[in-house]
């Protein structure tokens, strides 16, 4: 593909779709590190203008990474619903953006449209959308999923309790989890990042999270976020798991560096269906995040927004219960500052929803990134208005195991209150039964983790 | 299960985890002291990223200073590849001023926390030298690399050809500790070495792995590397 355009008296030429896609991105350090970003604001705008005029069939006919060479490309290509694609193939990317944003097209229209869109087409649209476009479009799309409970309804903001402990201490995990529950956090999942990735430890953590769920009849699901193979070994041994977890990359080589293959994911799908403890049908928890393919040198010169979209193309094949972009975790060489993290969070959420996925976001940053907790306050409110399915909470926003900052339990409760959103329906009822809320408002018990200590 | 103590139940819970629990609330927001403490800890972490190692510490141990291809902190953060390569003048300087092909080369770098070096070097460095000497190892000319990444070990290895190299480097600061240091070790560092060839002792600070203990442990590992002529996942420890 060769395209040329004249903008403000200057002529810009692009030699491939890959180049147009990369240069049309809003500025981010990862694209600069990869050496593929636009050289100037004008060149960036020229790339956006050229991209807006491309048709969807052009995007399909010029694969960035051939389906013959990459199984994620092949999966995305094979998923495409021909009947839908035939109707839209002559649309330009500009027309696709306007269809998505039009008041006439509601959630069901967009989810139908989604079936005819490849991940690259969705990424292309995101590149010519403003932050408010990304919020408006995503807010229209309602994606409900069911594992033990159902989340994703309009007006519901669910949450993951992330009660990590630096040495996987069971009592320490419980203490942090009690704190979460007392703030109404944990309706999407109670999910632990383990320090020790052994079968016995995964087994113990799955048991303990399930014990808390059973002791207090909590309508939620449990998960331990280790490598999928160690979860499979624990589940084979009889560990109770509602969800099975894995991080995904947008290329076959990227997944290879994560130590996973499609057949491994297929195997895990069958295992959790057979031996998992949830009714389903949605039993996967996937995590993604811009930049992981570049960090494992598995990016093929493709920009990190497009690669992130391809993660969603892979994820949707497995009909997950939740998908989470860990947006600010990877570090400043991929997303340098709060402006870049905020943009990426909104892009990822929109692109995931446009794939029909139940998107959540870990609103987070590391200490070597040019960002602070005020930036997370901002992003959490923006994602709340965009209708994010869930967010992640840790005590006072400080994850004492992973050494980064996310949202606090307080923060998620605050977003819910300010935006008039509620926890998942069954979980909200449970909070009323426990006396933590009354008519949806915190009682004096809220914020007191000791109410879950067995004092008899 | 957690309440087998007659102490205040909240204190009982808090003793099980360093997580910031039991903080209470006003409305849905945390109390003022906890918010300000959290922001203070973040400030300490950020300051240690952007800080510099005082010359006094370096001169105390006669460490001269070279730089990588990094020119500013922003450059360092955005281009990890440039932090792995020494500045052009540094190569010639090392060749001229350092002992060639020592058994052990010790290098110090600020990495992501200058504060880690400032707080720990005075304890770790002399103890490390003692530990290496106790194994009768020949120690090269130690120096400091400003703006280094872990893999700068490989280029230093190419220039000075040590049998083993120890890099003391500041870790990415967390809120629990902004002054944590790591010691990376590799047998015959050089081009093509993989992460799995390196070994690390992390979390070195007063409330983590005690500096003296870390220094002794490094000595033991280096001695084993030289005996077995390998490092990383291949080393039998």
Q: Does A32 touch chain B (CB under 8 A)?
A: yes
Q: Does B46 touch chain A (CB under 8 A)?
A: yes
- Measure A179 CA to nearest chain B CA, in Å: 6
- Measure A213 CA to nearest chain B CA, in Å: 14
Task: Return the CATH architecture of domain A145-452.
Answer: Alpha-Beta Barrel (3.20)
Q: Taking residues A206-232, report their average pLDDT.
A: 96
**pLDDT value at residue B6:** 55
Q: Could you report the per-residue pLDDT of B140-197, keeping only the tens digit for each?
A: 999 999 999 999 999 999 999 999 999 999 998 989 888 899 999 999 999 988 888 8
Q: Does B25 touch chain A (CB under 8 A)?
A: yes
Q: Could you report the per-residue pLDDT of A378-392, keeping only the tens digit for each?
A: 999 999 999 999 999
CB contact under 8 Å between A398 and B2, yes or no, is: no
Q: Could you report the per-residue pLDDT of B102-116, keeping only the tens digit for each?
A: 999 999 999 999 999
**pLDDT value at residue A423:** 98
Instruction: Confirm whether residue B171 is marked as ligand binding.
Output: yes
**pLDDT value at residue A215:** 96
Q: Which of B16, B78, B178 sits opposite A175 (nearest CB)?
A: B16
CB contact under 8 Å between A367 and B10, yes or no, is: no
**pLDDT value at residue B203:** 87
Q: Does A328 touch chain B (CB under 8 A)?
A: no
- Measure B73 CA to nearest chain A CA, in Å: 10
Q: What would the two tokens of residue B126 be?
A: 């002399």
CB contact under 8 Å between B34 and A446, yes or no, is: no
Nearest CA in chain A to B11: A450
Q: So what's the ipTM on this one?
A: 0.94
Q: What whole-number distance in Å separates Cα of residue A431 and Cα of residue A439?
A: 10
Instruction: Confirm whether residue A424 is marked as ligand binding.
Output: no
* Fold (topology level) of B50-234: Rossmann fold (3.40.50)
Q: Taking residues B199-203, report their average pLDDT.
A: 89
Question: Which residues 380-419 of chain A have a CB within 8 Å of chain B?
Answer: 394-398, 400, 403-405, 408, 410, 413-414, 417
Q: Could you report the per-residue pLDDT of A399-456, keeping only the tens digit for each?
A: 998 889 999 999 999 999 999 999 999 999 999 999 999 999 999 999 999 999 974 3
**pLDDT value at residue B158:** 97
Q: Which of A173, A174, A450 sits opposite B9 (nearest CB)?
A: A450
One-character DSSP codes across B180-194: -EEEEEEES--TT--
**pLDDT value at residue B145:** 98
Q: Does B23 touch chain A (CB under 8 A)?
A: yes
Nearest CA in chain B to A211: B1
CA dist A155 → A184, A409, A425 (Å): 16, 19, 10
Residues 6 or more apart whose CB falls under 8 angstroms from that of A321 comprise: A145, A146, A147, A151, A189, A221, A243, A282, A283, A284, A285, A358
- Measure A355 CA to nearest chain B CA, in Å: 31
**Domain ranges, ordered by start, for chain B:** 50-234
CA gyration radius for chain B? Answer: 20
Q: Could you report the per-residue pLDDT of A286-336, keeping only the tens digit for each?
A: 999 999 999 888 999 999 999 999 999 999 999 999 999 999 999 999 999
Q: What would the two tokens of residue A205 be?
A: 């953590």
**pLDDT value at residue B20:** 97
Q: What whole-number distance in Å separates Cα of residue A373 and Cα of residue B38?
A: 9
**pLDDT value at residue B1:** 46
Q: What whole-number distance in Å separates Cα of residue A185 and Cα of residue A182?
A: 7
Burial A193-231 (b: 16+ CB within 10 A, else e): bbeeeebebbbbbbbbbbebbeeeebbbbbbbbbbbbbb
**pLDDT value at residue B207:** 80
Q: What whole-number distance in Å separates Cα of residue A451 and Cα of residue A61?
A: 60
- Measure B79 CA to nearest chain A CA, in Å: 6
**pLDDT value at residue B192:** 86
**pLDDT value at residue B177:** 81
Question: Which residues 99-118 of chain B have a CB within 8 Å of chain A?
Answer: 112
CB contact under 8 Å between B18 and A449, yes or no, is: no
Nearest CA in chain B to A167: B17
Q: Could you report the per-residue pLDDT of B86-95, keeping only the tens digit for each?
A: 999 999 999 9
Assign B232 a pLDDT band (cuts: 50, 70, 90). confident
């Amino acid at each position: 593909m060769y395209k040329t355009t004249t903008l403000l008296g200057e002529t810009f030429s692009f030699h491939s779709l890959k180049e147009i896609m990369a240069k049309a991105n809003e500025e981010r350090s990862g694209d600069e590190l990869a050496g593929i970003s636009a050289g100037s604001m004008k060149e960036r705008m020229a790339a956006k203008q050229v991209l807006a005029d491309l048709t969807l069939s052009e995007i399909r006919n010029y694969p960035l990474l051939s389906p013959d060479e990459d199984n994620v490309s092949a999966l995305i290509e094979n998923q495409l619903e021909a009947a839908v694609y035939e109707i839209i193939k002559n649309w330009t990317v500009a027309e696709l953006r306007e269809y998505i944003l039009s008041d006439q097209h509601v959630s069901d229209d967009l989810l139908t449209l989604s079936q005819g869109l490849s991940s690259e087409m969705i990424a292309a649209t995101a590149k010519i959308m403003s932050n408010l476009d990304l919020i408006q479009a995503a807010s229209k799309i309602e994606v409900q999923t069911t594992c033990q409970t159902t989340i994703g309804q309009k007006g519901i903001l669910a949450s993951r309790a992330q009660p990590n402990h630096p040495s996987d201490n069971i009592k320490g995990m419980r203490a942090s989890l009690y704190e979460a529950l007392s703030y109404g956090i944990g309706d999407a999942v109670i999910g632990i990042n383990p320090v020790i990735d052994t079968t016995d430890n995964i087994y113990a953590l799955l048991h303990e999270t399930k014990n808390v769920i059973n002791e207090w009849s909590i309508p939620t699901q449990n998960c331990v976020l280790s490598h999928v193979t160690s979860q499979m070994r624990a589940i084979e041994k009889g560990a109770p798991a509602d969800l099975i977890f894995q991080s995904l990359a947008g290329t076959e080589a990227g997944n290879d560096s994560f130590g996973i293959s499609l057949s491994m994911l297929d195997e895990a799908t069958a295992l959790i269906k057979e031996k998992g403890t949830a009714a389903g049908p949605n039993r996967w928890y996937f995590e993604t995040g811009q930049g992981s393919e570049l960090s494992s040198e598995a990016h093929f010169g493709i920009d990190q927004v497009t690669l992130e979209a391809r993660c969603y193309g892979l994820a949707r094949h497995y009909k997950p219960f939740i998908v989470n972009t860990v947006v600010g975790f990877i570090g400043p060489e991929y997303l340098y500052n709060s402006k870049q993290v905020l943009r990426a969070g909104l892009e990822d959420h929109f692109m995931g929803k446009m794939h029909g996925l139940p998107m959540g976001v870990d609103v987070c940053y590391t200490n070597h990134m040019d960002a602070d907790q005020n930036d997370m306050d901002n992003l959490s409110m923006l994602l709340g208005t965009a209708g994010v399915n869930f967010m992640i909470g840790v005590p006072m926003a400080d994850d004492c195991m992973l050494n980064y900052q996310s949202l606090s339990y307080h923060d998620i409760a605050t977003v819910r209150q300010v935006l008039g959103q509620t926890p998942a329906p069954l979980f909200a009822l449970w909070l009323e039964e426990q006396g933590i809320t009354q008519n949806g408002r915190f009682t004096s018990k809220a914020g007191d983790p000791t109410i879950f200590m067995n004092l008899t | 299960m957690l309440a087998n103590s007659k102490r205040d139940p909240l204190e009982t819970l808090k003793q099980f985890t360093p997580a910031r629990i039991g903080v209470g609330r006003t409305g849905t927001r945390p109390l003022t002291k906890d918010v300000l403490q959290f922001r203070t800890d973040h400030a300490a972490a950020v300051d240690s990223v952007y800080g510099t190692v005082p010359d006094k510490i370096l001169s105390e141990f006669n460490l001269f200073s070279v730089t990588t291809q990094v020119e500013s902190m922003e450059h360092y953060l955005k281009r990890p590849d440039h932090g792995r390569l020494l500045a052009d003048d540094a190569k010639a300087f090392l060749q001229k001023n350092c002992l060639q092909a020592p058994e052990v080369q010790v290098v110090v770098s600020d990495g992501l926390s200058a504060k880690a070096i400032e707080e720990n070097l005075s304890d770790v460095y002399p103890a490390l030298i003692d530990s290496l000497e106790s194994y009768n190892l020949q120690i090269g000319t130690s120096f400091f690399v400003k703006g280094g990444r872990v893999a700068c070990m490989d280029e230093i290895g190419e220039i000075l050809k040590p049998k083993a190299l120890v890099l003391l480097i500041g870790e990415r600061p967390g809120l629990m500790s902004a002054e944590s240091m790591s010691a990376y070790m590799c047998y015959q560092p050089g081009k093509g070495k993989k992460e799995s060839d390196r070994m690390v002792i992390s979390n070195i600070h007063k409330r983590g792995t005690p500096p003296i203990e870390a220094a002794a442990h490094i000595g033991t590992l280096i001695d084993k590397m030289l005996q077995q002529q390998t490092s990383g996942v291949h080393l039998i420890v």
